[in-house]
Every structure is written in structure tokens, then in C-alpha cells.
Structure 1
Amino acid sequence: MHPQPDPATLGEIVTRSQAIAAGMTVGQVNRRLRSGAWVSLRAGVYLLPHRGEQPADRFEAERRRHRQHAVAAVLRHPHGTIAGRSAALVHGMPLTSGVPSMVEIVVPHGHWTGRRAGVAVRSVVLEPSDHAWIPMGQALRGLPENQVDDAGADVARLHVPAMTPARTWVDIACRDEQAQALSAGDRALRTGQMGVAEVESILARMAGSRGCRRAAAVLPHLDGRRENALESLSFGRFLEWRLPLPVLQHEFSDAAGFIGRVDFYWPAFALVGEADGRLKYTSPEVLYAEKRRQERLEGLGLRVVRWGWSDVVTSNPRLWAQLRGCLLAAA
């Protein structure tokens, strides 16, 4: 009689060799695949859907699917490290460009590079300090290290290699657009995943490498006070449009007391900017409270301009013209 497999040793993603080491036979593995209890992600790497949490929405489902394929890919590449935008998703950093279509992995020089089966493999020199070994449960959920809780046996037993948050940010900032670098970097600073000095050290070591100048130019603009990706993306557009840069998270009060904190404030122009995400106001009560808040701000002689994702995800000339017009009028 074959030994019964020990489920406590199997994570949400498991290789065939791990399943067999846990006491399963090839036949037992194949039966689970045929029944749909397990799903093949790559040759010899399987997803155990019942072990994972259900994503909160379709956007998180898409991000989680990418993280699953990134973990599966690196398990099939013994010299590989999750990198770039895939590493950003593993670390919980937002991507303004959306979920990438290809998993990104880097390998040392001398190994195969190219694109195959949804994985882009490139050659990069990484220092030991550039590597992070992340518990699988954390990697699949995209949790910053300081937000990890008990995600099951796989957290204690199985880790996957990825670039550290700081090295991930440098990889993105060297290769992607400024707004994406701001979004990922602001989040990493806000959650304490990386520090400016750590990034400066990496850039100094990589001086002369392609894209380093661009990353170094973005770094001074990172600010953990921006509370979400929409605010980071908006600030990126201000830089792109060469607008005067606003004060962040300024608080206002009037005779009745505290009004609130605004996303952006141009004091020399008496202008407030609010980046309103979709579904921010979920009830008539909240909507009315926000209306009253704006009326009180306007009572202070301020002009309030609002925008959403569709206004900044591409460089929208309407918003640029509106903000520029307000700034010129006030000047």
C-alpha cells in the first residue's frame, strides 16, 4: 500500500517532485489533474485551488493569476529570480500599466534568455543583497513583508526567489515610464519596504547601466504621503505637463472646525486637486458629506478640481487644460 500524502507539506503551488516527496504516487498526481482538483500551471508545476483564498474582485483575481504563474515559472527555472513588474506584483506594488502579459524572470549570465510560454527571461547581474526569498503564501497574495500573517504551511516551508523591493523598483524605474515608477515607489516607501538610501546605493553600484539616469531622476520625486496609485499617477502627469508642483495632503479648517485633508494643494493659486478613485463614494450619505466638504473648501476661497483614472491613465489634454487654466487665472 502506498503511503498517504501529507497535505500539510503541500503549498498552494506544488511541483511534481514535491508531491512525490510528500508521499504521493505519479498516479495520484495524475488523477488529481484529470479530476480538476489540481490545475497544471507549467510542466510539472501544479496549482491546488482549494488551498488559496478567493480574490476580492476581478482585478485582484488577475493580479493573483499573474503571481501564480510567476511562482510556477521560477520553480521551473532553478537559476531564475522573479523580476520587474512581476516582482512588483509579488511585493504588492501597484502597476499603472496593468498586469503584464508576460512573467518576468532574470538569470545570471550564461543561461538561456528569451521568451517562451508566457515567460520573458533576461540576463542581469544581481548581488546577493538584491535577492529576497519570499514565503509562497506572501508572494501569491502580494503582501508587503510587514503585513504577513499566518497563510498556512507553505509560508513556513516554501520560499520563492524575487528581487528585493528596492531592486525591483530600480528595475522598473530603469525600464518603464515615470508614472509607473512613482506608483510602485510611493507604495514601497509608504509601507516601509524600501528606503531612499537603499535605492541610492543600488543606483550608485549600477551607475552607467541603461536606464539608471532615468531612475535617478525619478527618485527625488518619490513620496510615501501619496496614498494610492491614482495620486502617484496624477503627480507623474504634473511632472510631465511641467505644472507647478503642489503640496501633498494639506489639511484645512474653517470656523466650524476641521474640514479635511486634500490630495493636492497649490497655495499660491488657491487651488485644490482631488484624485477620486472609482467607487470612492459608495452611499448617498458619503456623497452628501463630500459635497458639504467641497462647499466648505470653496467657502475659504479655494477652487476645487476633481479627476479620475480615465483622466490620467493616458495624458488627457482636457485635464491638462483645466489645471493650466486655473493656475493661469489665479496667477
Structure 2
Amino acid sequence: MPKAPRRPPQLRGRIFRGSVAVSRGLLTRNDLRSSAWRPLFRDVYADARVRVTHRTRCAAVGRWLIPPGAAIAGRAAAALYGCATPGQSEPLDVLVPRETRIGPTAGLRVHHGEIDPGDTVNRAGVTVTSPARTCWDLARWLQVVEAVVVIDALLSSRLTDVPALREYALSRAGRRGWRSLLRAIDLADAGAESPQESRTRVRLVLAGLPRPQTQWIVTDQGRFVARLDLAWPQFKVAVEYDGLWHDDPEQFHRDRRRLNRLLGGEWIVLHATAKRLREDFDGFLAEVRAALRARSRSPWTR
């Protein structure tokens, strides 16, 4: 029968530095390789029975791996605000003061930069970049579509707003990334309700289409008919991201029924799916463009 791994009571349910546990005689280096402990980062371990969350990983990084004055940043910061869902194995972005050197560390993406007063806040014991600074870094570090996806979520959660972000960007005019933030702000929309809705909207706008309205309410003689993900109400054209993303078959069928009511009227409703956007975005774009062009010549749009 295999020997049960050592589990000193001082370490049960804890996250700890492996070197400290070894120096105190609680474990050996060989013990750290057992199934009782889970490596999180270099020399940082967790009791394997502990549920490791994003906040847990960020707290460990803040406590043991980054110097004073540094902060969790980028998508990792947005996830602490509840506005992104990084994968468990995705490296965590950290922002380190420009003058501070820190070597490469597995599991971290280290960014050096100037950190102004007010750029960091304490969130549940973790030092994290402020919502405005998080948006600035996202605009600098990510491709514009993915940056706007997260900025949309921060706006939707009312952690910041467009005027505040614009003021933040303009107050840093001339510094690296301020124009990128302004561009992302111009494309952002607090009405987006999912990352895929944001991606669809931004890609359509970047392709040259007029900016759609988000969550547009359609009524019939004062009665609610539908709420559309993206709409050009002046043309009565809409785009709906396929509702299967929410894993609720009943909701999907309810969505289809309400859209059928629109299809029987004056609206054209085009459906986007993850597969279509991934494999045939140009074809989908052509369909939306054709619908807008056709409706721009219709009598009720003049």
C-alpha cells in the first residue's frame, strides 16, 4: 500500500512558500512533489485540497512574487473586478514600477511602467490597478477588439464611465498608449452584455459599418416585442448573437420565438454564431452590409 503523503497541520488549507516550509523542517523537497501539494508559481504551493481561484493566485503573487509598489494589472485586474474570465493557466499580468527590476517568472507577464498616484487600489487585500489604469493598460497591451471587450464589461459594471476614461487619457497626452485608450473608448459601449456581442459590434464597426445601438427595445403599439443585441433602428436591421452561449435551451427557444415575431414584420434580423464569426466573418459582414444597403433604399427609411 503506498505511503500517504505528509500533511503537517501547520500547512493544511494554506498557501505557502516551499522554501520556508523546508527550512522550518515541515516538509522536504521530495514531500513538495507529492499529491498533497499543488505548485502555483515558483516556490509557491497550495494544499491540494484548497480550491484555487483567480483571486487566490493574485493574492499569492502580490504577497510573494512582486515587489512593493507593483500591482495586478490588465486582464488579471479586470477579472478581480468581475469583468474578465482568464483561464486557470493564463499568465497573470503585473505592472511593476519602471525603476524596479524583476526577473522572468513562470506564470506572470511582467510589464514595467510609470505608476501615478491613484493608479492602484486595494481590492480584497490585493493591490490592483484602478479601473481607469486597467483600461489604459488593456488598450496598450491587447489588440483593439479584445481590449474593448473588457472595457465594455468595466463600463457595464459601472466601475468607470466614458467621460472619466476620456479625462484620464487626455491628462496623459503624449505618454505611450493615450491615443490607444481614446480609440478604445470611442469603440466601447456600456450596453454590451457579453464578450461575443462586443466582438461582433467592434468588428463590424472597424469594417466600416455605421455604429449600431446596443440592447435596442422594439415595441408594437406600446407593448414590448423584443430587445435586440445590435440594431440599426433607422434601417430596421438587427444582429443577434446566437443565444446558445448561455447554455439555456429554453431561453434559446424563447429568443427564437420573439425574433420570429420581428421577422414577420418590418425588421431584418441576422444571426451571428461563434463558428460563423471565426470562419466566415467576411461572408457575415457582406450580409449585414447588403441588408443595410437594401433598407437604406426602402420607403420607410427616407
User: Same fold, TM exceeding 0.5?
Assistant: yes
Q: Partner amino acid for 2:160?
A: M
**Corresponding position: 1:325 with 2:290:** yes
Q: Partner amino acid for 1:91?
A: Y
Greater helix proportion: 1
Q: Partner amino acid for 2:264?
A: G
Q: Partner amino acid for 2:41?
A: R
Alignment of 1:141-152 (within 5 A): none
SS across alignment from 1:268: coil
Q: Distance in 2 between matches of 1:326 and 1:132?
A: 47
Q: Partner amino acid for 1:81?
A: A
SS across alignment from 1:322: helix
Q: What CA deviation, in whole Å up to 9, does each residue of 1:25-56 have, x standing for no partner?
A: 43258686344222122333112342327xxx
Q: Partner amino acid for 1:216?
A: L
Q: Which residue of 2 aligns with 1:140?
A: none
Tell whether the 8 Å contact from 1:254 to 1:300 is kept in structure 2 after alignment. no
Return 70-79 or 298-307, whichever deviates more.
Answer: 70-79
Q: Which residue of 1 aligns with 2:234?
A: 268
Q: Which residue of 2 aligns with 1:84?
A: 74
Tell whether the 8 Å contact from 1:230 to 1:277 is kept in structure 2 after alignment. no
Shift in Å at residue 71 of structure 1?
4.3
Q: Distance in 1 between matches of 2:247 and 2:40?
A: 38
C-alpha spacing 1:198/1:286, structure 2 compared with 1 (3 Å):
closer
Q: Which residue of 2 aligns with 1:141?
A: none
Shift in Å at residue 227 of structure 1?
0.9
Alignment of 1:40-189 (within 5 A): 40-52=39-51, 64=53, 69-74=57-62, 75-79=64-68, 80-94=70-84, 101-113=90-102, 115-135=104-124, 159-189=125-155
C-alpha spacing 1:126/1:116, structure 2 compared with 1 (3 Å):
same
Tell whether the 8 Å contact from 1:102 to 1:120 is kept in structure 2 after alignment. yes
Q: Which residue of 2 aligns with 1:155?
A: none
Q: Partner amino acid for 2:106?
A: A
Q: What CA deviation, in whole Å up to 9, does each residue of 1:243-264 have, x standing for no partner?
A: 0122221222336943221111
Which of 208, 231, 255 in structure 2 is aligned with 1:290? 255
Structure 2: gaps (5+ residues) = 1-7, 297-302
SS across alignment from 2:39: strand
Return 312-321 or 296-305, whichever deviates more.
Answer: 312-321
Return 198-207 or 232-241, whichever deviates more.
Answer: 198-207
Tell whether the 8 Å contact from 1:132 to 1:162 is kept in structure 2 after alignment. yes
Q: Distance in 2 between matches of 1:50 and 1:15?
A: 17
How many matched pairs? 287
Q: Which residue of 1 aligns with 2:177?
A: 211
**Corresponding position: 1:309 with 2:274:** yes
Tell whether the 8 Å contact from 1:70 to 1:104 is kept in structure 2 after alignment. no
Q: Distance in 2 between matches of 1:115 and 1:85?
A: 19
SS across alignment from 2:151: helix
Q: What CA deviation, in whole Å up to 9, does each residue of 1:109-161 have, x standing for no partner?
A: 332256443433232111231112232xxxxxxxxxxxxxxxxxxxxxxx222
CA RMSD of aligned residues (A): 3.3
Which of 5, 8, 33 in structure 1 is aligned with 2:10? 5
Shift in Å at residue 216 of structure 1?
0.8
Structure 1: gaps (5+ residues) = 54-63, 136-158
Q: Partner amino acid for 2:32?
A: L
Q: Distance in 2 between matches of 1:327 and 1:81?
A: 46
Q: Distance in 1 between matches of 2:178 and 2:280?
A: 24
Return 123-132 or 256-265, whichever deviates more.
Answer: 256-265
**Corresponding position: 1:15 with 2:17:** yes
**Percent identical residues:** 27
SS across alignment from 1:243: coil
